Amino acid sequence: MSSLDAIRQQLLAFRDERDWKQFHTLKNLIISLNLESAELLELTQWKTDAQLDALKGDPGFREALRDECADVLLYLLLVADDAGIDLLDAARAKIAKNAARYPVEQAFGSAKKYTELKEAARKKE
Amino acid sequence: MSSLDAIRQQLLAFRDERDWKQFHTLKNLIISLNLESAELLELTQWKTDAQLDALKGDPGFREALRDECADVLLYLLLVADDAGIDLLDAARAKIAKNAARYPVEQAFGSAKKYTELKEAARKKE
Amino acid sequence: MSSLDAIRQQLLAFRDERDWKQFHTLKNLIISLNLESAELLELTQWKTDAQLDALKGDPGFREALRDECADVLLYLLLVADDAGIDLLDAARAKIAKNAARYPVEQAFGSAKKYTELKEAARKKE
Amino acid sequence: MSSLDAIRQQLLAFRDERDWKQFHTLKNLIISLNLESAELLELTQWKTDAQLDALKGDPGFREALRDECADVLLYLLLVADDAGIDLLDAARAKIAKNAARYPVEQAFGSAKKYTELKEAARKKE
């Protein structure tokens, strides 16, 4: 059992002790995942990259980041559980898909989307 | 090494082969995490809970869900890596924090926030 | 001068009195717009449609809705101002574009995207 | 009748011709508003402030910005209509509330939240 799976089981026990599954429709869980992602984004609001680099060493800021990252992961585990998705398998498969979409020779040093890369490659031919 | 850590290492290798670290400021990574969460939300747009329950058995919908869940996890791993956060530790600590915020006897069967639960408990006294 | 334009001018004066333009890059404004949209979404968290219908009559809920809707509009005005966009013109043009994408005879009573409608129309031929 | 109100009426007619009100629950409309805000955010993904400043002069980028801003406004109008909110009144009231929260002498040149400003003012006393 992976550590992520141990957390998943702890989380489901936490949920069931409180009888919360009744609120956890797929849509509600995904909404909550979005709200937690937004709380993470709020930590960066109005801040420059330099300010954020400095804040990474601030204990209060670090704890806030840690908590919001954890909240995103916990809702993601609940979404995946509800949909019967194995997150680790899904991540491995997605890295492989991305590797095919972004061949090193086209994507090196470029922030373009794969649809733009294809278009650029097509024009070059 | 946990399986999640193996994926993290694969992901960092994927990033470095493409020289993408230069784009991965904390703010940019969190923006991308939000965009992927929104793509997951888009899969539920205009759908009722009953329609979503039916779609969970649809191969095309399942693959879309899997891919978007994976994208959220991959950006979350990059955010955590950039901030020096151990995601599994953070998740364990957050479950403990939530357990203290949501005591079973107050939170059972209730979708109230812990701030509302406290208020309700205060009024009862 | 439209009423929306009067509000825009009031808002720019509010901003300039506080010397806040320096923080208002396009990216920062759009991030803030997303955060306000998320706060609006948070008002619906865990609530069913029936519960939300009932809450529409609750003064506290109504005020929260009003405030969050206002925040979204205010940031949208700042985004549009920064980008030199006339919001009313943009909205009129977008309604016309949507009317072309969603012909009444195809879109009537359907929640499908225009890309799906096109595909469905193509198959029928 | 303000121009915004004219657009609102055009939009409601557009909706009713397609019999779409049935999908427009408050929650669904707010989800769609969030999705459109995210599409606006996507236009800034991986871009620096300098790149975005340059792109503001690019016709394709401007059109994309215009369209996404319009989509946000259109969904905001539908949310406000569903909740019986007058957007212009709400915006005027919110500017007044913000003016009280952010007194010029405390907020000048500062990106702090009003909760932080209060705390800072309290400490000074």
What ipTM does this complex have? 0.95
CA-nearest residue to A20 within chain C is C46
Please tell me which chains touch C, using 3 or more CB pairs under 8 Å as the contact test: A, B, D
Give the single-character DSSP code of B22: G
- Lookup: tokens for A59: 């204990």
CA distance D5 to D13: 12
Q: Does A28 touch chain C (CB under 8 A)?
A: yes
pLDDT score of C44? 98
Residue predicted with more confidence, A95 or B124: A95
Is residue B29 over pLDDT 90?
Answer: yes
Number of residue pairs across A and C with CB atoms under 8 Å?
29
CA distance C58 to D117: 31
Binary contact (D70, C87; C-beta < 8 A)? yes
- Nearest C-alpha of chain A: how many angstroms from D45? 9
Is residue D86 over pLDDT 90?
Answer: yes
Is residue A2 over pLDDT 70?
Answer: no
pLDDT score of A117? 87
For residue C100, the Cα-to-chain-centroid distance in whole angstroms is 21
CA-nearest residue to C95 within chain D is D11
Which residues of chain B lie closer than 8 angstroms to C49, CB-CB? Answer: none
Q: Does B70 touch chain A (CB under 8 A)?
A: yes
Q: Does A46 touch chain C (CB under 8 A)?
A: yes
Which residues of chain A lie closer than 8 angstroms to B2, CB-CB? Answer: 2-4
Burial-class residue D57 by CB neighbours within 10 Å (0-12, 13-18, 19+). Answer: exposed
Q: Does A32 touch chain C (CB under 8 A)?
A: yes
C94, amino acid identity: K
CA gyration radius, chain C: 19
Enumerate the CATH 1.10.287.1080 domain ranges in chain D, comma separated. Answer: 1-84
pLDDT score of B117? 87
Number of residue pairs across B and C with CB atoms under 8 Å?
4
Stretch among A113-117, B38-42, C102-106, D42-46 having the lowest mean pLDDT: A113-117
CA-based torsion, C33, D30, C45, A28: positive or negative = negative
- Nearest C-alpha of chain D: how many angstroms from A60? 14
Please tell me which chains touch A, using 3 or more CB pairs under 8 Å as the contact test: B, C, D
Binary contact (C27, D19; C-beta < 8 A)? no
Is residue B1 over pLDDT 70?
Answer: no
Is residue B40 over pLDDT 60?
Answer: yes
CA distance D85 to A48: 35
Which residues of chain C lie closer than 8 angstroms to D19, CB-CB? Answer: 108-109
Please tell me which chains touch D, using 3 or more CB pairs under 8 Å as the contact test: A, B, C
Which among D76, D43, C54, D16 is positioned nearest to B31, based on CA atoms? D43
What would the mean pLDDT of D82-96 be, rounded to a whole number? 97
Interface of A with C in 6-25 (CB under 8 A): 23
Q: Does B51 touch chain C (CB under 8 A)?
A: no
What is the CB-side half-sphere exposure of residue D47 using CA atoms within 13 A? 21
Average pLDDT, chain B: 95
Interface of A with D in 99-118 (CB under 8 A): 111
Average pLDDT, chain C: 95
Binary contact (B111, C31; C-beta < 8 A)? no
SS3 call for C1:
coil
Interface of A with B in 78-97 (CB under 8 A): 79-80, 83-85, 87-88, 90-95, 97
Binary contact (C33, D40; C-beta < 8 A)? yes
Average pLDDT, chain A: 95
pLDDT, tens digit (0-9, with 9 covering 90-100), for C103-122: 999 999 999 998 888 888 88
D117, amino acid identity: L
CA-nearest residue to A34 within chain C is C38
DSSP per residue, A13-64: HHHHHTT-GGG--HHHHHHHHHHHHHHHHHTTTT--HHHHHHHTT-HHHHHH
C104, amino acid identity: V
Mutate to test the interface with D, among B15, B22, B31 (most CBs of D within 10 A): B31
List, in sequence order, the alpha helices (H) in C1-125. 3-17, 26-42, 49-55, 59-83, 87-101, 104-107, 114-124
Which residues, 6 or more positions from B49, have their beta carbon under 8 angstroms from its beta carbon?
A25, A26, A27
User: pTM of the prediction?
Assistant: 0.96
- For A41, B115, D26, D119, the CA distances from C51, given in Å and listed in that order, are 29, 20, 11, 36
The CATH architecture that domain B1-84 belongs to is Orthogonal Bundle (1.10)
Mutate to test the interface with D, among C29, C52, C65, C104 (most CBs of D within 10 A): C65
What would the mean pLDDT of C33-57 be, rounded to a whole number? 97
What would the mean pLDDT of B29-35 be, rounded to a whole number? 98
Which residues of chain A lie closer than 8 angstroms to B85, CB-CB? Answer: 62, 65-66, 69
C101, amino acid identity: R
